[in-house]
Structure 1
Amino acid sequence: MAAWYPGSLVRMALRLVLDTQVWLDWLVFDDPGIRRLRNAVHLGRARIYIDAACDAELARALSYDLGRHRIAEPAQAAALAQARRLSQRIEAALSAAERASLPQCRDPDDQKF
């Protein structure tokens, strides 16, 4: 999961922005399907970036009724704190022209990714 540049010994960590469902799989459901992602982050082979909009969406999603995985407020706060420790905060302000040039997502909530 690392990026290699031809003719170079420089190895760069893969840069990622996680969808809210991936965060829930990691923080709430402990989904084994993200084991490789979790390992890559812990080994420094991948870095996660998050902006204010994604952070706010994750905070909302952690408060949803997730069936048998519903979590109490202290656990929600702990999960959000863990996500913040695992990620690097970025400010992703785009101009209207830059936003208009991006492909349009079917789900408007995913457009920020």
Structure 2
Amino acid sequence: MWTRHHKKRKFGRFVVPAITVAFLSYFGYHCVHGEYGLIATERFERQRLARSGELSRLTETRVALERQVEALSDGSLERDMIDEIARYQLNVSRTDEIVILNGYF
């Protein structure tokens, strides 16, 4: 009967743990620094908060414009409202009016 005797090598004991450490290191790094990692998640959250603030501001602007359009187009056009908006947008006043500028001191 033939038997083989192998010399025990120290290198063979460290192969599986070295592969495990490399595997865990690779995925651990990408878990933190990857495209969808922890750092990217914080960046996405900051961007979401900034855009939600912008959305609320734009929504308020849209509602104000809708009210203004509704007041102008419901069939009962008010002369003073049309006059006020036209003068504001054209930057015009009458000769008998006094203009008071707020905030320009």
Q: TM-score, normalised by structure 1?
A: 0.23
Structure with greater helix percent: 2
Structure 2 length normalisation: TM-score? 0.25
Higher strand share: 1
Bigger RCO (CA 8 Å, 6+ sep): 1
Which has the larger Rg? 2
